[in-house]
Amino acid sequence: MKSNIRTFVLAAIAAASLAAFPHRGNAQLAFAANATTTAHTLPQNGIGTINVIVLPKAGTYVIGGQQTLLVYPTTALTPVLCYTSNQAGSETALTDGPYSMTTVQAPGGYVTLPLNGYYTAETAPMTIWVECRYFGVESTVAQLTGTLTATQVK
């Protein structure tokens, strides 16, 4: 009998505690994702727009992803970079958005650039573009697979 009373009291305390505090779920947070699977060659000394996501609500988003590039055939160092912008084909990267750069050594090969950062959308919907480019006259760079996600945190 003592055990049943204790169980009842503990259950009553737990129910009262849960009822006293408002519940907030994260089901209302916005999420966007996109993947690229079609390879295409980046323009020589130009900007290639290779991925896009649409942020559905105003607020702060954590952005994550990666982009794989193939650099071939090269006999020289080839700088490659990818960044996010709020306009397709723009040379201006988002201030706190993903930006990643590396230099591929001869004889070339694959490189995966991380795309991690955050962005605060003042209005909605907001479109975020992934731009990639490279520098080098002796190389060709092909965009392979890539992903980009955005999860609203505020």
CATH number for the domain spanning 108: value is 2.60.120.40
Number of domains in the chain: 1
Domain contains 15:
no
Q: pLDDT confidence of 142, banded at 50, 70, 90?
A: confident
As a whole-number percent, the residues of the chain with pLDDT over 70 amount to 81
Q: Decide: 84 and 98 in contact? Cβ < 8 Å.
A: yes
Domain contains 8:
no
pLDDT value for 96: 86
pLDDT value for 71: 87
pLDDT value for 28: 52
Domain contains 12:
no
Q: Decide: 53 and 35 in contact? Cβ < 8 Å.
A: no
Domain contains 62:
yes
Domain contains 10:
no
Least confident of 15-24, 39-48, 87-96, 122-131: 15-24
Domain contains 146:
yes
pLDDT value for 27: 45
Q: What is the DSSP string of 94-112?
A: PSSS-EEEEEEPTT-EEEE
Residue 134 belongs to domain spanning: 28-152
What is the token pair recorded at 76?
């020289």
Domain contains 5:
no
pLDDT tens-digit map of 40-71: 888 887 888 888 899 999 999 999 999 998 88
Least confident of 11-20, 79-88, 113-122, 133-142: 11-20
